[in-house]
Structure 1
Amino acid sequence: MAVTSLRLTTWNLRYDSQSNNITVANSIANLPDRLQKPPLYYADVSREQPWSTRRIGVAALLEFLGSPIISFQEALVRQVRDLKELFGEDWDWAGVGRDDGIERGESVVELKSWDTFWLTDTPFDVSKYPGAGSYRICTVAHFTIDEKTFTLLNTHFDDQSDAQRRLAASLILYRAKYEAATTQGPVPAEGSDNGAYQIFTGVLEPVTINATFAEKFAVPSDSPLPGDFKMLDTRGIIPRQKVFGHFATYTGFSNLGYTGPYGRIDFVFGASHVKWESTAYKADEALYDDGVYLSDHRPVTVDLLF
């Protein structure tokens, strides 16, 4: 069977904290002349701009990158709807509102099925972990491409509770192992990781998870996997000359030259057992000389072969 190439992009969009009534059409109408120099380069660079200002640039960059599957974090439903409007009818989306479990749709690339679980001790119920800053979920989507199956897990770990992050990583790793065993296809996992990296990559042992979840997603006895199953950081296994762009994926809305908040917290992982290859990696730019941060995170794009 021929080798399949797949490009994946993950981006924490920064939720719409300054909502207004400006339509997508109005945002487009208010764009500056394409040939006109900005009055001042990097003006207001340290100020978070409303989503209505950011969304056109977000959509344009994503379309330029050309990934058929894009994973978002922090995106509110209205933000995803805006992007769907900008991308056009060929695109759609899958996922739920993390706070209420409502909203659903279909994806852009041969989506076969999907589901969501909450990253708590009651993962099948809409729930928030005690001490966590927000409701946290993981969306699992099964795709086919070139008659091959792969499973994508998308999540956003909590920024306040280390206990929640450890539990979340343990749940996702357990589910990833199940998907790897039952599909025998690649299992990439994407998202903003505020501290669960060591459990994902096998440095730390997982914590105890919900018994019902463990029973439902137990690896079948006829599909065993190696005991050292883990997730691999795609940046770390790509040939060095194929790693491009930034190291830090989180910048905040910082002044030029101030790197205090910088860090690498946005990742694309892949399950260790399956034959796949990561051939290129780029942490892109989210700030251009018009001074508008598209997000406080940078998009990460990875090319895979399997």
Structure 2
Amino acid sequence: MISLLFLFFIVSDCVTTAFAMRMATWNLRFDSKPDNITVQQSIDALPDPLVEFPFQGVHGEQPWSTRRLRVAQTLLSEDIDIAGFQEALVRQVRDLAELLGDDWSWVGVGRDDGKEAGEFSPIFFKKSKFTLVSNDSFWLSDTPFEPSRFPGAGSIRICTATRFTVKEPSSSGPQHFAYLNAHLDDASDQQRQLGTSLILTRARFEAFVNGGPVLVTGDFNSPSTGSDSGGYKVITGAQPPLPINATFAKKFDAGGVGADFRMIDFRGQAPRQSVSKNYATFTGFTEPNDTSDWTRIDFAFGGSTRGWNATGYKVLSALQDDGTLSSDHRPVFADVSLE
């Protein structure tokens, strides 16, 4: 009897009921100053770390070839498991894949042609932690199944949708979840409302038809308060969604259930002592003391059907001592347990 009990406790201790992970979302700022500098050349050009440099000696936006090592260093030092990025051109996606290492994989397409042209909203994930079950992309427009721009929007906008299975064993069976990552428009609040209506429809479908927790990240270009916050209000259920493409609505019909389904902001769910005091996620490439354009437009959400628990949330500065900003956005991190 003693040996059987001992075996029971060993087995119970090896099988977990919740899976803890750290996720991130970061608008990387597109490669607006392209050059031919390789990743290895950037590494080779790193200065002696023991030599002091002029503090805040650099100002304004720096090339991606300068910023990419700092982006990767931040992500790796935070020990993330999965992440959604925005504004990444194909060079930036490939650079990140190289810098993050062999345990990482990614999915996503360029928004301009559904292949490699234009900005990606890719999802990166650790292969040792997750098995990719499926992925696809849809456009945040009136014709979501093809590369297209919403009338009045500043750019073509896209959402990457995935489903994963957690590799870590669970006493309740395989754990799976859906994860959507998007970038909404900077010029049109109408597009942001339409885009979040599409995302909410897809998230509801994943929650009620495919089952499991649903996570959403992205640059919504829609603050949580103010006259241009329609996108945030739609996805959080504070405002009704807009009518969407009928074919999309039919394909991702949740069977008439979940009318009150919404996404819940992780910043308001994590314990308050575990929420960073950095609030703004967009800072621009302005001087450190110029906060005139600072705002919170990058979010991490969980579906109202839950199956998740937010245990921490933080926004890190993108500014280094030499004055270089890794991006005009700050990285957002959320600690989440899947239950």
Same fold (TM over 0.5): yes
CA distance in structure 1 between the partners assigned to 2:83 and 2:232 by the alignment: 21
- Counterpart mapping for 1:34-183 below 5 A: 34-38=49-53, 40-45=54-59, 47-103=60-116, 107-108=125-126, 109-145=130-166, 146=168, 147-183=174-210
Q: Could you say if the C-alpha distance between residues 99 and 49 of structure 1 is closer, same or farther in structure 2, counting changes exceeding 3 Å?
A: same
Aligned partner of 1:198 in structure 2 is 233
Report the identity percentage.
51
CA-based RMSD: 1.5
**Displacement of 1:123:** 0.3
2:320 equivalent among 288, 293, 301: 288
- Tell whether the 8 Å contact from 1:149 to 1:183 is kept in structure 2 after alignment: no
Structure 1 segments, 4+ long, off by >6 Å, are: none
Provide, for residues 120-151 of structure 1, a one-character-per-residue CA deviation record: whole Å limited to 9, x for no partner.
Answer: 00000111112211110000010011320000
Matched, 1:185 2:198: no
Q: Could you say if the C-alpha distance between residues 105 and 305 of structure 1 is closer, same or farther in structure 2, counting changes exceeding 3 Å?
A: closer
Aligned partner of 1:14 in structure 2 is 29
Matched, 1:232 2:264: yes
**Displacement of 1:184:** 2.3
Q: Could you say if the C-alpha distance between residues 116 and 282 of structure 1 is closer, same or farther in structure 2, counting changes exceeding 3 Å?
A: same
CA distance in structure 1 between the partners assigned to 2:181 and 2:22 by the alignment: 15
- Tell whether the 8 Å contact from 2:84 to 2:124 is kept in structure 1 after alignment: no
Matched, 1:24 2:39: yes
CA distance in structure 2 between the partners assigned to 1:288 and 1:264 by the alignment: 20
Aligned partner of 2:226 in structure 1 is none
CA distance in structure 2 between the partners assigned to 1:185 and 1:42 by the alignment: 46
- Tell whether the 8 Å contact from 2:25 to 2:84 is kept in structure 1 after alignment: yes
Number of residue pairs matched by the alignment: 301
Q: Which stretch of the first structure deviates more once superposed, 107-116 or 6-15?
A: 107-116
- What one-letter code is carried by the residue in structure 2 that aligns with 1:174? T
**Displacement of 1:216:** 0.3
3-state DSSP class of the match of 1:160?
coil
3-state DSSP class of the match of 2:310?
strand
Aligned partner of 1:258 in structure 2 is 290
Structure 2 gap segments, 5+ residues each: 1-15, 117-121, 169-173, 223-230
3-state DSSP class of the match of 1:7?
strand
- Tell whether the 8 Å contact from 1:245 to 1:284 is kept in structure 2 after alignment: no
Mark the structure with the bigger radius of gyration.
Answer: 2
**Displacement of 1:44:** 2.3
Aligned partner of 1:279 in structure 2 is 311
Q: Could you say if the C-alpha distance between residues 186 and 259 of structure 1 is closer, same or farther in structure 2, counting changes exceeding 3 Å?
A: same
CA distance in structure 1 between the partners assigned to 2:279 and 2:306 by the alignment: 26
**Displacement of 1:274:** 2.1
- Tell whether the 8 Å contact from 1:184 to 1:274 is kept in structure 2 after alignment: no
User: Normalization by structure 1: what TM-score?
Assistant: 0.95
**Displacement of 1:183:** 2.7
Q: Which stretch of the first structure deviates more once superposed, 10-19 or 105-114?
A: 105-114
- Tell whether the 8 Å contact from 2:83 to 2:124 is kept in structure 1 after alignment: no
Provide, for residues 143-199 of structure 1, a one-character-per-residue CA deviation record: whole Å limited to 9, x for no partner.
Answer: 011320000000011000111111001000011000011232111100011121000
Provide, for residues 89-147 of structure 1, a one-character-per-residue CA deviation record: whole Å limited to 9, x for no partner.
Answer: 22121000111101599853311110000000000011111221111000001001132
CA distance in structure 2 between the partners assigned to 1:44 and 1:35 by the alignment: 19
CA distance in structure 1 between the partners assigned to 2:237 and 2:105 by the alignment: 35
Select the structure with the greater relative contact order (CA < 8 A; seq sep ≥ 6). Answer: 1
- What one-letter code is carried by the residue in structure 2 that aligns with 1:152? Y
CA distance in structure 2 between the partners assigned to 1:300 and 1:105 by the alignment: 14
- What one-letter code is carried by the residue in structure 2 that aligns with 1:185? G
